A = this chain, B = another copy of it.
Amino acid sequence: MNNCINFSLKETIKFLKKNDNYIILTHASPDGDTLGAGYALYYGLKQLGKQVEVVCPDVIPQDYAFFLCETDHVNREGATLVAVDIADKRLLGALQEEFGESIDLNIDHHISNTRYAKALYLDSDASATCEIMYEVLSGLKVKLNDTIAKALYTGISTDTGCFKYSCVTAKTHKIAAALYDYNIEADVINKVMFDTKSKDLLTLERMVLDTAEYHFDDKCMIVTVTADMLKKTGCKGTQLEGITNISRSVDGVLAGVTIKQTDDNTYKISIRTYAPLNASQICVSLGGGGHKNAAAVILKGSLQEVKDKVLCAIKQQMEETNAWTSAVR
């Protein structure tokens, strides 16, 4: 939609003050950033006396319970729709049909944002939508409290791999420092988000390690998570996020690929890259999208067909960027 208006921070704040009834939408398979930003905005707008509902297309994992709450029931009719951290309307999942064409305001940090909303406040320099939301709430003169600070910290921490990735800036750390003025129990949050796994997940990790394949002089690693493995271990959803990091962790690998079977003939491909490779470009060429270093695409076909497509796209980019000969890592 080309009629999407670019909002500044000031315009965003003005818009959020203006109306009375807001529905905040988070993306499907919700993560810390979409939920943190959504609930932080909820608490903020409640302080301004608005009626506010948070709507998530999927069940919210219990891991986030520490900043969740029962929200209002807002009449769809006449409500103002705000999407947070949703780069593409398809990420609304089950709610795309109901809300996809009528989002009033989209607050996001993904450079790949498809501009589907009526207005967009995009800050692609922000490490997380929660980093933007911190500034939005400041502008709205919302008084932070422990719960809001926890929600914002969770989004920033999870989207940056706990301040690890290249998206982190001085501003990210300054905001984190400000959030430590509240009792956020960051170590507890990080423990849950990054360092807790079940015995079953440990078993799954061993199974996944068994599928490891190396290609292109070991510069590309592929691991596969089959539906059968998930069934055997009972692992699902956000539990699997750590699995995606296995393939990016091996010395010398420039493209780490995780192929996850989501249905008989459907696979979600998550790609993590290091320069000169660009995960977003690889995934866009296959019909997906994402960030420079982390992107994804859903492909149909047999496992081998899917693998071949991905390898072909990676090979092409390796040739274009001379990744074969450049001694980057």
Contact call A198/B162, Cβ cutoff below 8 A: no
Contacts of A196 in B (CB 8 A): 249-251
Contacts of A176 in B (CB 8 A): 163, 173
Chain A residues numbered 157-198 whose CB sits less than 8 Å from any CB in chain B: 161-166, 168-174, 176-178, 180-181, 186-187, 190-191, 194-198
Cα–Cα, bound, A186→B248 (Å)? 17
Chain B proximity mask over A199-211: 1 for CB below 8 Å, otherwise 0:
1001001100100
A198 to chain B, nearest CB (A): 5
- Given A195-B245, A202-B209, A248-B195, A164-B177 contact (CB < 8 Å): no
Chain A residues numbered 238-269 whose CB sits less than 8 Å from any CB in chain B: 245, 248-251
- Given A249-B196, A251-B196, A169-B164 contact (CB < 8 Å): no
Interface residue count for A (Cβ, 8 Å)?
A: 39
A218 nearest CB neighbor, chain B only:
B199
How many copies of this protein are present in the complex?
2
Question: Which of B164, B181, B186, B202 lies in contact with A250, CB distance below 8 A?
Answer: B202
Contacts of A173 in B (CB 8 A): 173-174, 176-177, 180
Contacts of A245 in B (CB 8 A): 195
Contacts of A172 in B (CB 8 A): 177
Contact call B190/A164, Cβ cutoff below 8 A: yes
Contacts of A250 in B (CB 8 A): 196-199, 202
Contacts of A180 in B (CB 8 A): 168-170, 173
| Of A171, A245, A249, most B-chain CB atoms within 10 Å | A249
Contacts of A194 in B (CB 8 A): 164
Cα–Cα, bound, A168→B202 (Å)? 28
A190 nearest CB neighbor, chain B only:
B164
A213 to chain B, nearest CB (A): 12
Contacts of A161 in B (CB 8 A): 162, 190
Cα–Cα, bound, A177→B131 (Å)? 14
A125 to chain B, nearest CB (A): 13
Contacts of A181 in B (CB 8 A): 170
Question: Which of B165, B171, B186, B195 lies in contact with A249, CB distance below 8 A?
Answer: B195
A194 nearest CB neighbor, chain B only:
B164
Contacts of A199 in B (CB 8 A): 250-251
Contacts of A169 in B (CB 8 A): 180
Contacts of A162 in B (CB 8 A): 161-164
Contacts of A171 in B (CB 8 A): 177
A33 to chain B, nearest CB (A): 17
- What are 20 A-to-B residue pairs whose CB atoms are below 8 Å? A163-B163, A164-B186, A165-B187, A166-B186, A166-B187, A170-B178, A173-B173, A173-B174, A173-B177, A174-B177, A191-B274, A196-B249, A197-B249, A197-B251, A198-B250, A199-B250, A199-B251, A202-B209, A202-B212, A206-B209
Pick the 4 closest A-B CB pairs, nearest first: A173-B177, A170-B180, A166-B187, A164-B190
